[in-house]
Chain A
Amino acid sequence: MTTRIDKRFSELNKQGRAGLVTFLMAGDPDHETSLAIAKALPKAGADVIELGMPFTDPMADGPAIQAAGLRALKAGATLKKTLALVRDFRKGESDTPIVLMGYYNPIYTYGVDKFLVDAKAAGVDGLIVVDLPPEEDEELCLPALKAGLNFIRLATPTTDDKRLPAVLMNTSGFVYYVSITGITGAATPQADKVSSAVARIKRHTKLPVAVGFGVRTAEQARGIAAGADAVVVGSALVDALRSSLDKDNKATAGTVKAVTDLVASLAEGVRLARRVAAE
């Protein structure tokens, strides 16, 4: 089965460049604005969209993404509305993959089977659920694969060669390499270390490897893109969005543009990188 994610990475491969994966918290700062941002992302240069599912207790996230989730929840975000956002996004866009990213409790509460049916119908392509390691694959990973959704796993600096096969076993779509030990947005990854880590993962899998956590600028994106199949940017975009809000955390006329401008600059950085001969 070829998914939208598989297709996108094979196109990128043909173009000989790395992709840009952009993170956006669904419902931040409100439902309409985040839908408008999502709709503008492909044109701005996003190759894959990661849509955060807001959660009150995001244990692996830094202050920027924590605050984004709380803004969204305060504005009335729910998992149901996140799926509606994807459905509306899909009305005008059928090529850019959407990956939902978040924590398990809202999905568990929604009901795993119902969630998978509704997510698939809405046009979701993959899932990243931070607090579901391979040890808990029966919870959601295996049912998701069965439902035709990609289940994208995080590999980290603590995932050694012995553990990698277990982590990769039921991973599909791409592998998300977390470039630092830490929370989102905390530290800056070092490009040389990252490319050797990507090479290590690639010895175990044919899947594309996207690298994220801590990438903030076009220059960094360019450095990382030289040694990876895609670069993920999250906290920097969330920060750009936050800076555009008024004092009550409401969207302003500049909110969508604040995000798309940064995406365009990151996309340029990614496109400037030459693919290394390592692959």
Chain B
Amino acid sequence: MSVQQPNSFRTGPDERGHFGIYGGRFVAETLMPLVLELEKAYAQAKADPAFQKEMDGYLTHYVGRPSPLYFAERFTEHCGGAKIYFKREELNHTGAHKVNNVLGQIMVARRMGKKRIIAETGAGMHGVATATLCARFGLECIVYMGAVDVERQKPNVFRMKMLGAEVRPVQSGTKTLKDAMNEALRDWVTNVADTFYCIGTVAGPHPYPMMVRDFQSIIGRETREQMQEAEGRLPDSLIACIGGGSNAMGLFHPFLDDRSVEIYGVEAAGHGLTGLHAASIAGGRPGVLHGNRTYLLMDDDGQIKDAHSISAGLDYPGIGPEHAWLNDMGRVNFLSATDDEALHAFKLCSKLEGIIPALEPAHALAKVLDIAPKKPKDHLMVVNLSGRGDKDLATVAEHLGGKL
């Protein structure tokens, strides 16, 4: 299949929030004025040098950026091919890339005078990041979390509570991330005047996919500079896991127009693509949910199907709309890794590098194990190590047949 490729992959979205046919603003009328207000507020913030300066200050001194680009020597030796670097997002304050985006959105919320912050969370990392920034800036914080996820991510639930947030378990639907997002939207529609909805990934109605991408793009911008410093050139390939896809978009976006850079996104194949999984590109088709058009897991009637992944953070039946477009354009190669492959990579990375990765980036590491051996030794590969694995220890222990 040949696709007409654009001159640049970095110009989207258009003024109505579309990436090709994807994206858009599919929300109830009650929310539409709020979405337009946010778009305006974000555009003003983006154009204000004082906003960026304030952000940079917090990114350095509170988040701990830049995160290192680390040469994973023993993982490289094990694979016997490409030279593998880890972008160490797990070293950020709160233990994942999520904080980059939350900091940005909370700064926008403050400019808008909003005092009440709501968020949805799957694994709890976005919830923890939101609770953290709300504590730091003295804002009320309510986190919606599927009841199933509350059960399987107990340490993060407790962290959020310690940080002063209220965690509301969601009992509707499948009781996971998509239902948490439904419930957050229901809250927003009810509390329009004082509430800011802090979305955790590159999805939702415009301007969220663009705004979250912009805040996460610091990952890719730093990687460019750091690789230049370490190797004197650009990397040859990038690889990241994808649920909604914010860590991946953050790494990929600054490189989209460097055609020499191969880009791989890894979805969660759960029990395998013929069973229960969360791979929207591999197993879904375009539809409309949560404010945007994108690839969704659904049945023939357009009813959303249950996703499954061992990793709560990837357990979502959709994907960010810009990823959907990059897939159709052929710019990003979408792969998938099963629960078992991710578990294997999780253990291997822990033992070889002394880094316990979250189960989410373990999916990316699983595909590194496939791809890296086939590449020459001078091939520079960057894996986004988007989060740390402490939150997953109970899940992993259970899968290995034990308990903590």
Cross-chain contact B303 with A73 (CB below 8 angstroms) = yes
Cross-chain contact B33 with A160 (CB below 8 angstroms) = yes
* B302 at interface by CB-CB < 8 Å: yes
The stretch of B184-192, B247-255, B393-401 in contact with A is: B184-192
* A152 to B143 alpha-carbon distance, docked (Å): 34
Given contacts A59-B28, A181-B30, A181-B192, contact A110 B288 (CB under 8 A): no
Cross-chain contact B29 with A108 (CB below 8 angstroms) = no
The stretch of B19-27, B71-79, B334-342 in contact with A is: B19-27
Cross-chain contact B33 with A55 (CB below 8 angstroms) = no
Cross-chain contact A109 with B300 (CB below 8 angstroms) = yes
Cross-chain contact A60 with B34 (CB below 8 angstroms) = no
* A75 at interface by CB-CB < 8 Å: no
* A167 at interface by CB-CB < 8 Å: yes
Q: Inside 8 A of B298's CB, which chain A residues have their CB?
A: 105, 109
* A106 to B301 alpha-carbon distance, docked (Å): 6
Cross-chain contact B173 with A56 (CB below 8 angstroms) = yes
| Size category of the binding interface on chain B | 35 or more
Cross-chain contact B289 with A57 (CB below 8 angstroms) = yes
Cross-chain contact A55 with B27 (CB below 8 angstroms) = no
Cross-chain contact A57 with B28 (CB below 8 angstroms) = no
The stretch of A128-136, A192-200, A232-240, A250-258 in contact with B is: A128-136
List A residues 25-41 near B (Cβ within 8 Å). none
* A183 to B290 alpha-carbon distance, docked (Å): 15
* B308 at interface by CB-CB < 8 Å: no
Smallest CB separation, B210 vs chain A (Å): 15
* A135 to B182 alpha-carbon distance, docked (Å): 21
| Size category of the binding interface on chain A | 35 or more
Q: Inside 8 A of B300's CB, which chain A residues have their CB?
A: 109
Q: Inside 8 A of A183's CB, which chain B residues have their CB?
A: 186, 189-190
Smallest CB separation, B87 vs chain A (Å): 34
Q: Inside 8 A of A163's CB, which chain B residues have their CB?
A: 32-33
Cross-chain contact A59 with B33 (CB below 8 angstroms) = no
Q: Which residue on A lies nearest to B303, using beta carbons?
A: A56
* A246 to B372 alpha-carbon distance, docked (Å): 59
Cross-chain contact B30 with A178 (CB below 8 angstroms) = yes
* A186 to B293 alpha-carbon distance, docked (Å): 28
Q: Inside 8 A of B31's CB, which chain A residues have their CB?
A: 158
Cross-chain contact B304 with A131 (CB below 8 angstroms) = no
Cross-chain contact A158 with B30 (CB below 8 angstroms) = yes
Q: Inside 8 A of A157's CB, which chain B residues have their CB?
A: 30
Q: Which residue on A lies nearest to B193, using beta carbons?
A: A181
Out of A54, A108, A160, A181, which one reaches B287, CB within 8 Å?
A: A108
Cross-chain contact B290 with A66 (CB below 8 angstroms) = no
* A117 to B296 alpha-carbon distance, docked (Å): 25
* A178 to B192 alpha-carbon distance, docked (Å): 14
Q: Which residue on A lies nearest to B191, using beta carbons?
A: A181
Cross-chain contact B302 with A131 (CB below 8 angstroms) = no
Q: Inside 8 A of B30's CB, which chain A residues have their CB?
A: 60, 154, 156-158, 178, 181-182
Cross-chain contact B28 with A110 (CB below 8 angstroms) = no
Q: Inside 8 A of B296's CB, which chain A residues have their CB?
A: 105
| A/B pair count, beta carbons within 8 Å | 117
* A78 at interface by CB-CB < 8 Å: yes
Given contacts A59-B182, A105-B298, contact A66 B172 (CB under 8 A): yes
Cβ proximity bits B276-315 to A, threshold 8 Å, 1 near / 0 not: 0000000000011111010010101111100000000000
Smallest CB separation, B295 vs chain A (Å): 12
* A156 to B30 alpha-carbon distance, docked (Å): 6
* A272 at interface by CB-CB < 8 Å: no
Cβ proximity bits A71-84 to B, threshold 8 Å, 1 near / 0 not: 00100001110000
Out of B29, B172, B287, which one reaches A154, CB within 8 Å?
A: B29
* B178 at interface by CB-CB < 8 Å: yes
Cross-chain contact B303 with A182 (CB below 8 angstroms) = no
Interface of B is mostly: mixed
Smallest CB separation, B13 vs chain A (Å): 13
* B16 at interface by CB-CB < 8 Å: yes
Cross-chain contact B27 with A131 (CB below 8 angstroms) = yes
Q: Inside 8 A of B288's CB, which chain A residues have their CB?
A: 103-105, 108, 131
Cross-chain contact B28 with A133 (CB below 8 angstroms) = yes
List A residues 172-231 near B (Cβ within 8 Å). 178, 181-183, 186
Out of B26, B185, B186, which one reaches A104, CB within 8 Å?
A: B26
* A155 to B336 alpha-carbon distance, docked (Å): 43
Given contacts A133-B29, A163-B33, A181-B30, contact A57 B190 (CB under 8 A): no
* A186 to B301 alpha-carbon distance, docked (Å): 28
* A63 at interface by CB-CB < 8 Å: yes
Given contacts A105-B288, A108-B302, contact A155 B29 (CB under 8 A): yes
* A158 to B296 alpha-carbon distance, docked (Å): 30
* A245 at interface by CB-CB < 8 Å: no
Q: Inside 8 A of B182's CB, which chain A residues have their CB?
A: 57-59
Cross-chain contact B186 with A57 (CB below 8 angstroms) = no
Q: Which residue on A lies nearest to B287, using beta carbons?
A: A105
* A153 to B34 alpha-carbon distance, docked (Å): 18
Cross-chain contact B24 with A178 (CB below 8 angstroms) = no
Q: Which residue on B lies nearest to A62, using beta carbons?
A: B186
Q: Inside 8 A of B34's CB, which chain A residues have their CB?
A: 158
Given contacts A131-B288, A153-B29, contact A110 B24 (CB under 8 A): no
* A48 to B298 alpha-carbon distance, docked (Å): 32
Cross-chain contact A154 with B28 (CB below 8 angstroms) = yes
Could you show 10 A-B contacts with beta carbons less than 8 Å apart? A103-B288, A105-B289, A105-B302, A109-B298, A132-B26, A133-B28, A154-B29, A158-B33, A182-B189, A183-B186
* Extra inter-chain contacts (19) besides given A105-B302, A181-B192, CB under 8 Å: A56-B304, A57-B178, A59-B182, A59-B189, A62-B186, A63-B172, A70-B173, A104-B26, A105-B287, A107-B302, A108-B288, A108-B293, A110-B301, A131-B27, A135-B24, A135-B32, A156-B29, A158-B33, A163-B33
Q: Which residues of B contact A (CB under 8 A)?
A: 16, 24-34, 172-173, 178-179, 182, 185-186, 189-192, 287-291, 293, 296, 298, 300-304
Q: Which residues of A contact B (CB under 8 A)?
A: 54-60, 62-63, 66, 70, 73, 78-80, 103-110, 130-136, 153-160, 163, 167, 178, 181-183, 186
Q: Which 5 A-B pairs have the closest CB atoms?
A: A109-B302, A106-B302, A182-B190, A156-B30, A78-B301
